[in-house]
Amino acid sequence: MKYSIDKKEQYVVFTPMEEKLDSLLAPKLKSELLTIHAEGFANLVLDMSQVKYVDSSGLSALLVGDREFGNAGGIFLISGVQDHVMKLLKISMLDKKLNLVNTLEEAGEAIFMHEIENGGDGEETGEDAD
């Protein structure tokens, strides 16, 4: 799976550089999301701007990311969802469950607001990230 990772101060932007997020790539995406979470990052933005197709395995990977980051008090945002993928999210009603934003700028603002609402100051929590 080809992807890029941009680590910011308060969050990570993970961008799959693939057109399909299917049963071949979903396990790798899950693994990468869990690794980023284990490194101590509480917030993640999944930039889906390159992804044109998602199957049930890909949806499962999105739910894993949402659960892992959400359970730790962070936020998992999905940005740049293409029309075909959005239709699938709506059919499966995951558009109500997942945190969807249109742009990376909106994602950054949403994370900033999430940190304020949850008493976070953007600093590390003091937990070891290794």
Look at the chain and report how many structural domains it folds into.
Answer: 1
For residue 101, being part of any structural domain is answered with: yes
For residue 125, being part of any structural domain is answered with: no
CA–CA distance, 18 with 90 (Å, rounded to integer): 22
Q: Can you tell me which residue has the tokens 């290794």?
A: 130
Residue 120: pLDDT band by 50, 70, 90 thresholds? low
CA–CA distance, 50 with 5 (Å, rounded to integer): 14
Instruction: Using CB atoms within 10 Å of the CB of residue 120, give its burial: 0 to 12 exposed, 13 to 18 middle, 19+ buried.
Output: middle
For residue 129, being part of any structural domain is answered with: no
- Give yes or no for residue 125 having a pLDDT over 80: no
Best CA proximity match to 58, nearest among 37, 82, 87, 27 = 27
Mean local confidence (pLDDT), 62-73: 96
Higher model confidence: residue 19 or residue 125? Answer: 19
For residue 30, give Cα distances in angstroms to 71, 76, 95, 109, 117: 16, 13, 19, 25, 28
CATH number of 43's domain = 3.30.750.24
* Domain hosting residue 89, numbered range: 3-117
| Percent of the chain at pLDDT exceeding 70 | 92
Q: What is the DSSP letter of 128?
A: -
